[in-house]
């Protein structure tokens, strides 16, 4: 069984940053990802808010980051982690689809996935008018008609943000009252953003780009509205299964709880990036990954494990 000082599970921005920082501390490190390195980040057509990388695709940035990380660490992609446990010496046994590995410490950068509406036409139009990230994609819809689905803080914040960008915003909510903070609701009213109440999206249409959506009102009436894009803001789901198997603490929404050094409640287990909740942006994930790697190095050093 191959042994490592540190195994990082997840190869997105947080995982790659953690790998670069751990490798530069001379920790023998392995990054494992169940998909191609970068995951969902590879699908972003244009990123304009990552420092030093204007007007580049997510794939371009990830490929450079992967190349950089490979200077310091070993990377296994397309290798799913099936389970994580401990041996008698309190080291971690990581079992994957291709083998077993032993590690003194773990960093969980397993990310999150967007909650979907699960309606007809949604998956077919991802990247063609369907988006889950206003910060990432909002500028593409400046001056265009867009719908936002949701009624919580994220949805209303996105509505305000996209309205400020110059989008023509309609908020669609399945209830008759918003679930956001009062101050956000007041700002929504001040901006006079249109809201369609008691309504759900039933189908997303357009060929190949989104052109209109079908709606169903609570009273049973149906309607259609023309839109150039639809932002789905009904929450994210942390990919926390491995964390839960290790008895790592999570909050009420399933996000891994860490301290400011990215430590979890389990000794020598750290977490970074979207799986910890908060601001789900590349720059934040990268910073947390770096902090997690440095914390792992410090803890292993203090415990005379390296």
Domains 2-113+236-302 and 116-232 alike in fold:
yes
Strand pairing partners for 74? 30
Strand pairing partners for 100? 95
299 is catalytic: no
Catalytic residue among 136, 167, 274, 299: 136
Catalytic residue among 137, 236, 274, 299: 137
133 is catalytic: yes
In the chain, what are the domain boundaries? 2-113+236-302, 116-232
Spatial distance between the Cα atoms of 255 and 33, rounded to a whole number of angstroms: 19
Spatial distance between the Cα atoms of 187 and 199, rounded to a whole number of angstroms: 22
Q: Along the 306 residues of the chain, how does pLDDT read in single tens digits?
A: 899 999 999 999 999 999 999 999 999 999 999 999 987 777 666 677 788 888 788 889 999 999 999 999 999 999 999 999 999 999 999 999 999 999 999 999 999 988 999 999 999 999 999 999 887 889 999 999 999 999 998 899 899 999 999 999 999 999 999 999 899 999 999 999 999 999 999 999 999 999 999 999 999 999 999 999 999 999 889 999 999 999 999 999 999 999 999 999 999 999 999 999 988 788 999 999 999 999 999 999 999 999
Rg (C-alpha) for the chain, rounded Å, is 21
pLDDT of amino acid 42: 77
Spatial distance between the Cα atoms of 287 and 276, rounded to a whole number of angstroms: 13
Catalytic residue among 35, 53, 77, 133: 133
Q: How far is CA 152 from the centre of its chain?
A: 18
Of the CATH numbers 2.40.50.140, 3.50.50.60, 3.40.50.720, 3.30.460.80, which one belongs to the domain with range 116-232?
3.50.50.60
CATH code, residues 2-113+236-302: 3.50.50.60
Spatial distance between the Cα atoms of 78 and 93, rounded to a whole number of angstroms: 19
137 is catalytic: yes
Spatial distance between the Cα atoms of 183 and 187, rounded to a whole number of angstroms: 6
Q: Are strands 112-114 and 236-238 parallel, antiparallel or unpaired?
A: antiparallel
pLDDT of amino acid 44: 67
């Amino acid at each position: 069984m191959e042994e490592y000082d540190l195994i990082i599970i997840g190869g997105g921005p947080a995982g790659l940053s953690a790998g670069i920082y751990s490798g530069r501390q001379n920790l023998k490190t392995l990054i494992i990802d169940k998909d191609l390195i970068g995951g969902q980040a590879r699908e972003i057509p244009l990123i304009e808010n990552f420092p030093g990388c204007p007007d580049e695709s997510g794939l371009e940035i990830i490929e450079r980051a992967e190349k950089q990380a490979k200077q310091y660490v070993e990377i296994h992609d397309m290798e799913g982690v099936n389970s994580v446990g401990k041996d008698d010496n309190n080291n971690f046994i990581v079992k994957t689809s291709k083998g077993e590995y032993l590690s003194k410490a773990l960093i969980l950068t397993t990310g999150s996935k967007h909650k979907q509406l699960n309606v007809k036409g949604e998956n077919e139009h991802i990247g063609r008018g369907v988006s889950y990230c206003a910060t990432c994609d909002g500028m593409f819809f400046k001056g265009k008609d867009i719908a936002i689905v949701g009624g919580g803080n994220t949805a209303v914040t996105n509505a305000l943000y996209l309205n400020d960008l110059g989008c023509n915003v309609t908020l669609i909510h399945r209830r008759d009252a918003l679930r956001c903070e009062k101050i956000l609701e007041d700002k929504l009213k001040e901006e006079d953003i249109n809201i369609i109440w008691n309504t759900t999206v039933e189908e997303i249409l357009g060929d190949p780009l989104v052109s209109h959506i079908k709606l169903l009102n609570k009273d049973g009436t149906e309607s259609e509205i023309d839109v150039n894009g639809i932002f789905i803001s009904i929450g994210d789901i942390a990919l926390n299964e491995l964390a839960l198997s290790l008895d790592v603490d999570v909050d009420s929404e399933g996000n891994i709880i860490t301290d400011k050094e990215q430590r979890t409640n389990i000794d020598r287990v750290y977490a970074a990036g979207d799986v910890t909740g908060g601001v789900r942006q590349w720059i934040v994930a990268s910073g947390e990954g770096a902090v997690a790697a440095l914390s792992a190095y410090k803890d292993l050093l203090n415990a005379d494990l390296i």
